[in-house]
């Protein structure tokens, strides 16, 4: 099991807290998911008040505040400092959006913000693209975790570029890697874990499902299955058929 800044997770699912129909449904989804980490947007949930914050604390999970909605380095750094005061944690999920429609990260500002926050004692979880050079720059800036996207936030498309994600796993074998964004189905989450990723972060797929609690449980089971499959060293795909029953010992009839 990989550790994240020295902290092991009991479950490889990181679950967001936005868009649920009600606080009660959010709480039940977390219970059924077994998620070890709750991601919270300080900006989005600022109006929810102390009741929301207390509910998150009562979940007894690690809290990963994020800088959702930030578009500049200054915005992201300021939001991170506010989140550290509110949640009393060094962890920060660094989101720095560069494209309005796709919500693609601005990787240039992302690296700069990661450097500033790392130097200030934060433990940064950077939401990034699946680019190897960006990954290298983020690690050089002080990050010890990489979080490439599977697909655009909230799209539910799964893993858009499996080749790039496989390359990232191969390039950074010792770095904790988290698929962040784009997961829509349990099969997508299982696929991410089958590629050797260490965790999956998702929100919309559970929060906006017809039955969030049931979907949360499905995601939990899918992630467990995907991890077990990766550890079992699965067979490689073949272009041709291969009989599962040998022909040795077959009767020949004249």
Q: Which residues are catalytic?
A: 93
Q: Which residues pair with 201 in a beta bridge?
A: 14, 180
Report which secondary-structure segment, H or E, holds 210.
Answer: none
Contact 192, 149 (CB under 8 A): no
CA–CA–CA angle 69, 70, 72 (5° rounding): 155
Show binding-site residues: 154, 181-182, 203-204
Contact 146, 178 (CB under 8 A): yes
State how far the Cα of 254 lies from the Cα of 16, in Å rounded to an integer.
Answer: 67
Helices (H), the chain: 23-33, 49-58, 73-87, 107-119, 132-140, 162-171, 186-194, 204-207, 212-231
3-state secondary structure at position 244: coil
Contact 12, 2 (CB under 8 A): no
In the chain, % helix, strand, coil (3-state, to 5) comes to: 40, 15, 45
Show binding-site residues for 1-deoxy-D-xylulose 5-phosphate: 154, 181-182, 203-204
């Amino acid at each position: 099991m990989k550790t994240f800044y020295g902290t092991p997770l009991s479950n490889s699912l990181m679950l967001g807290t936005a868009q649920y129909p009600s606080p009660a449904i959010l709480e039940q989804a977390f219970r059924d998911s077994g998620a070890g980490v709750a991601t919270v947007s300080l900006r989005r949930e600022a109006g929810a008040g102390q009741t929301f914050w207390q509910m998150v604390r009562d979940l007894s999970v690690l809290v990963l505040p994020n800088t959702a909605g930030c578009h500049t380095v200054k915005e992201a750094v300021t939001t991170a400092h506010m989140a550290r005061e509110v949640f009393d944690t060094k962890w920060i999920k660094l989101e720095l959006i560069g494209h309005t429609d796709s919500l693609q990260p601005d990787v240039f500002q992302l690296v700069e913000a990661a450097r500033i926050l790392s130097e200030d004692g934060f433990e940064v979880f950077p939401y990034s693209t699946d680019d190897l050079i960006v990954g290298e720059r983020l690690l050089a800036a002080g990050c010890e975790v990489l979080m490439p996207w599977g697909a655009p936030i909230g799209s539910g498309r799964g893993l858009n570029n499996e080749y790039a994600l496989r390359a990232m796993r191969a390039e950074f074998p010792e770095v904790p890697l988290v698929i962040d964004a784009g997961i829509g189905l349990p099969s997508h989450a299982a696929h991410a874990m089958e590629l050797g990723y260490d965790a999956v972060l998702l929100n919309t797929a559970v929060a906006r499902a017809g039955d969030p609690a049931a979907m949360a449980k499905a995601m939990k089971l899918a992630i467990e299955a995907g991890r077990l499959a990766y550890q079992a060293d699965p067979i490689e795909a073949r272009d041709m058929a291969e009989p599962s029953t040998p022909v040795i010992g077959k009767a020949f009839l004249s």
